[in-house]
Amino acid sequence: MGVIIHCAYTEQINPSGASPQLTRDQVWKGLQRKIRKAQDFVPVIEGCDVLEEKDNEVVREAHFKAFNGNPSHTVKETCKSYYPTKVDFWQPNGALITNTVSDGPGLTENDLNMTYTFEWRYPNVEEGSDDHKQKSQTCREGAKTAVHSSIEAMRKMAAAGELD
């Protein structure tokens, strides 16, 4: 039967003291670059090949390194962009990863948050099992790492003038 593991992680894009402060446009440009060059943002991805591109949709192959007991593998993903708020990454098995840029309580350009939401599918994992619990924890930790490394990558790109 299997399980679907849902998890999400949110981080402030421009916390106090962060430099440079990222604008919504820079973050959006960063997300568009992430679609095409995920390896610059997510440590477990070692490369991407864009197979098709039209309007707000990119079909790509993402090449994953071996991690957490999983062998290296390639996943074909359909990436759909919804300016200026989110990008959905659809995988063939139905898994969905969403990257969302949202406003913080100040509703200002510098009060932005990044949330990654994951819907991972594990057809051979029994609900409530130790494996399920371990995979859930690994997913939560991975979500935190993915959000943080993506924001830090965007900050470095912005500092180098690559997101203007």
User: Per the domain annotation, does 164 fall within a domain?
Assistant: no
Range of the domain at 112: 3-159
5-44 pLDDT per residue, tens = 999 999 999 999 999 999 999 999 999 999 999 999 988 8
Output the furthest CA–CA distance in the chain (Å, rounded): 49
pLDDT of residue 69: 75
What six digits make up the tokens of 28?
Answer: 């959006």
- What is the C-alpha separation between 110 and 12, in angstroms, rounded? 10
Structural domain count, the chain: 1
Alpha helices in 17-129 (DSSP H): 24-36
pLDDT of residue 161: 97
54-72 pLDDT per residue, tens = 999 999 999 999 987 779 9
What is this structure's pTM? 0.93
pLDDT of residue 89: 97
- List the CATH number of the domain containing 57: 3.30.530.20
Mean pLDDT of the chain: 95
Cα angle 45, 46, 50; round to 5: 85
